[in-house]
A and B are shown apart, each in its own frame.
Chain A
Amino acid sequence: MELTRRDEDMVAVLSLSGRLDLANGNTLKDEIKTVLDSGKTAIHLCMKDLEFVNSSGLGAMVSIMKEIRLRRGRLTLSDMADYVREVFDITQLSHIFEIFPTEEEALHSYQTAAQI
């Protein structure tokens, strides 16, 4: 799995590519901790190039969600391949994650929330 980070105003945008599984769940957790420690608590994960996720990867996702909530932050996801979305739906994790069709829509939601 590869992770690239860029900042869009108040939101840290991480792009995931490759596989999210037992071998690299900790990489994601460590990167999220780094982002949170840098003071950013609004995090968006773009999953456009994520090819595969299994239950170990889902476990890492739940772990980072808990960590972000603990810091009173917000996590959004977008651009899931149909197959990845299906895994989130089967496990009902789509109920606890904010999933947007596109990154643009996800980032727009932060602007809207900031205006309220």
Chain B
Amino acid sequence: MSFIKLTYSSVIKSEQYMYDDVKAFLVDKSIDARLINNIMLSVSEAFTNALLHGNQSDPNKSIHISITTNNDEIIADITDEGSGDVEHLGSHEEADLWQEGGRGMMLIKRISREVAFSKSIKTGGTQVTIKFDRNKYKHKVEQNI
């Protein structure tokens, strides 16, 4: 098992730093490239939500990222320091095609195995836990051979 824990301030620039750090970690662990793409998209979406909605772009509040990998799955936790209101996060309608926002959570749900929302005991904010199945991607590689 391997893991990485990272913390970023709630400024827009942090998203790029987070992306580079998490991607470097996953590449180092020889994760399937398609799975890396899906993880990066999901973590990016959850990070943006934490920044804009959870921490409301307050640079004094942080976003905490934790990525854990083992042979079967990869688990990403994204935690903000906001109010911890998780009730509205579970149900997301599909966005109207001409709507400019509202696609983030739908994307996460479509490309991950499982998404869960909870109130973080540590920060009091919202914690989003996203799980990915490594075997699903291994199977695809075998099918492609």
Contacts and interface: CB of A to CB of B under 8 A. Distances in A.
Prevailing SS type, chain B contact patch: helix
B45 A59 contact: no
Contacts of A92: 97
Contacts of A87: 41, 107
B15 A62 contact: no
A23 B18 CA distance: 13
Interface in A34-66: 52, 54-56, 58-60, 62-63, 66
B69 to A, nearest CB: 20
B48 A59 contact: no
A91 B106 contact: yes
B143 interface: no
Residue with the greatest number of chain B CB neighbours at <10 A, chosen from A23, A55, A58: A55
B100 A90 contact: no
Interface string A79-96: 000010001001111011
Contacts of B106: 91
B99 A62 contact: yes
B13 interface: yes
Contacts of A66: 98
B16 to A, nearest CB: 6
Given A62-B100, A87-B107, 19 more contacts: A19-B19, A21-B44, A21-B48, A22-B15, A22-B52, A23-B12, A23-B13, A54-B104, A55-B101, A56-B48, A59-B100, A59-B103, A62-B99, A63-B100, A83-B34, A90-B107, A93-B97, A95-B97, A96-B97
Interface of B: 12-13, 15-16, 19, 34, 37, 40-41, 44-45, 48, 51-52, 95, 97-104, 106-107, 110-111
